[in-house]
Structure 1
């Protein structure tokens, strides 16, 4: 039976894909060891298969399908195969161009007949489709250059009839931006049945009524893009009401998890707590993990513990046995932010080396005074970058050193040194 005979209009919405984007650090490491690692192209293929299984009427892309114009050939192969599969299933494909693919997407659309690019000249364009006994209007406006500080909805006219209307737009939300800035109030005041937006990589449902959402990246591109990713299924019922929900199809998931070892008196107790917290996280998110093959985890260990000096070996043990802790788990990084089980405030009152280090740790912990905290991070960043450059590591390992990472390195180094000083003091007593 053809699932499209009756029922809701179904549209599978795909956000930023960035076909051809250079690999993140973890993907590079996987390539060097000849291990498989899920890619945006893999997720796009799985999304196509799911679109066929769901018997959707239309698939739409909200921009940045391709990362840059130099990814033309890679994108052509992936996109043409996907569009061909969808066309064979009777599924139409529409898209708008974003700030990354404004040049290449128009060229690709010219060579893939079933791929319909809307608003390629920078103006609003629409098509009305007849789907069974219903109609659906799809509107879109594309980027025509890398930067566009102009309001993209200033010249948008909302539909004046009762035909369900889906508007595609690649835009930034609010503020001063070079990437087609819009405000939520603007989108609400000129509302079609649904706004499907691109550019922001975090999936977010902004409004239920009118329906306004960013599908986010189809496949997470780096460790900052945590949580589930995938296409969104948008449905319009016979009354014209639109709703949407994510289908967590991406086989890769990045996560950041903080586990407190506060009060742990033995390595065995710490192991038990880590195992318990990881199991609890997995149970909480089990429904989102059905299609996930790899969970790339950044783990932060916190708290005051008596086993501080034994933590490096525990961290090594965790990294070597991550698959035993959770299926598909790969620990990308462990940030050891624990502290020795000593009263920092008391130590900080001293004028000895331990007191100096304790005062620095308090600045890192409280981020106060602000001036001292900023200076501490700046000095730490200079020393860390110098050490990385001296080690002659690839550029990938030297870039994007953010404040939390600098603070974590300083915290670990200072806490380790403090623990060593206190241990030496105990031994000499």
Structure 2
């Protein structure tokens, strides 16, 4: 008989998904972290798990206390009726709020309060399991919590629960991968980073990810994990992507496409491929938010390609091949190359010729000196004027050279087309 542990990453009760089209505004609560939490409780009961653990940021902020309290109470109470205990730790978002919530949720145990490691033994037919937890007491913690982790481990399986920033210099409990590896834990279940890791093997260690995608930046499957233990060993770690909304990014190859009909067929095939992928899982979202990226050498303009998807940016459509799942397009992105001979254009002694030379430089290997100088100049200009409209969609964090190269290539291709069209007109 295997032991099942249901592990939940960051929930952020109180938040609603952002960037929803108007058609979904009245349904936002059914696509929220609360809805994902309720489905997770039902899954835990249905799967007869032995224990549920949560690794911080259960609540979004102090102002969400009164919204979150009855939600947590109801879920934990339902688990308690089926004999399923709950362990949790505080993250940086709910360092103040979760301890207050825990005072009114008798069936849940908060570990590591006051930024002190706390162990919690749990006896099972498959052997002893000890959970080790550490909780934030403030919104920031500049040191590694592993510095105060006791060296001694209990008999049986030892599982660490920690909300932290791995391999980053930050004020959110920074730790290193090596320190985690050397901490003598059998398993590390981590919170804070919203992108889930691939948790495989007999000694999984990594981020559980958010329970529900909170915005378009959190693409891919989201949901809880079920860990199975037999004879004191982890034998399985299964991700259950039951979040009601899922965000995905799809690249449409438009190389050689000459008409809107051809491009529409490629979009349709990509949507059907997504539907086929979703069919493989028993856990399907209600809604999918998509970012479509058109990539390749194509004579169609951005406007031509925008017209293909039409109303899907403001309305919901049934996914081709899986119509019960609705989708909308959150954003269109374009990485188009002109179907022009850049080598020939670069021979010209005019502005299009000079621009063609720069575009050819961007296609050179990363170690090419001319390419490096071009990127250095662009990054300097970007640092001097970060609000320039050409760079408005780049994240506020300093971009990497290849990210700058992509944007230069995109802007340059558009400018080259505009120059040639102006000359032809």
Normalised to the residue count of structure 2, the TM-score between the two structures is 0.84
345-354 or 120-129, larger mean C-alpha shift: 345-354
CA contact (8 A) 2:378 2:404 kept: no
Query: Among residues 139, 164, 167, which one is paired with 1:171 in the alignment?
Result: 164
Q: Secondary structure at the match of 2:7?
A: strand
Q: Which residue number in structure 2 is paired with residue 374 of structure 1?
A: 379
Q: Which residue number in structure 1 is paired with residue 367 of structure 2?
A: none
Once superposed, what is the RMSD of the aligned Cα atoms? 3.2
Query: Among residues 330, 340, 357, which one is paired with 2:338 in the alignment?
Result: 340
Query: Among residues 1, 6, 10, which one is paired with 1:16 in the alignment?
Result: 10
In the TM superposition, what whole-angstrom CA distance separates every residue of 1:338-386 from its partner, at most 9, and x where no partner exists?
1331123332443434335545655676675222332565688533289
Q: Which residue number in structure 2 is paired with residue 3 of structure 1?
A: none
Q: Which residue number in structure 2 is paired with residue 384 of structure 1?
A: 389
Answer yes or no: is 1:75 the counterpart of 2:53: no
Matching of residues 248-259 of structure 1 within 5 Å: 248-259=241-252
In the TM superposition, what whole-angstrom CA distance separates every residue of 1:77-104 from its partner, at most 9, and x where no partner exists?
2211211111122111110111111111
CA contact (8 A) 1:211 1:243 kept: no
CA contact (8 A) 2:211 2:224 kept: yes
CA contact (8 A) 1:380 1:410 kept: no
- Indicate how the Cα distance of structure 1 residues 324 and 118 shifts in structure 2: closer, same or farther if over 3 A, else same: closer
- Indicate how the Cα distance of structure 1 residues 258 and 241 shifts in structure 2: closer, same or farther if over 3 A, else same: closer
What is the aligned residue count?
408
Q: Which residue number in structure 2 is paired with residue 394 of structure 1?
A: none
CA distance in 2, matches of 1:378, 1:348: 29
415-424 or 92-101, larger mean C-alpha shift: 415-424
Q: Which residue number in structure 2 is paired with residue 317 of structure 1?
A: 308
Matching of residues 256-271 of structure 1 within 5 Å: 256-271=249-264
CA contact (8 A) 1:193 1:242 kept: no
410-419 or 36-45, larger mean C-alpha shift: 410-419
Q: Secondary structure at the match of 1:314?
A: helix
CA distance in 1, matches of 2:407, 2:102: 48
Matching of residues 265-414 of structure 1 within 5 Å: 265-288=258-281, 290-306=283-299, 308-309=300-301, 311-321=302-312, 323=317, 326=320, 327-359=325-357, 361=359, 368=372, 369-375=374-380, 377=382, 381-384=386-389
CA contact (8 A) 1:167 1:192 kept: yes
- Indicate how the Cα distance of structure 1 residues 65 and 185 shifts in structure 2: closer, same or farther if over 3 A, else same: same
- Indicate how the Cα distance of structure 1 residues 417 and 165 shifts in structure 2: closer, same or farther if over 3 A, else same: closer
186-195 or 318-327, larger mean C-alpha shift: 318-327
CA contact (8 A) 2:8 2:208 kept: yes
Answer yes or no: is 1:49 the counterpart of 2:29: no
CA contact (8 A) 2:290 2:330 kept: yes
Matching of residues 182-261 of structure 1 within 5 Å: 182-205=175-198, 208-241=201-234, 243-261=236-254
Gaps of 5+ in 2: 365-370
Normalised to the residue count of structure 1, the TM-score between the two structures is 0.83
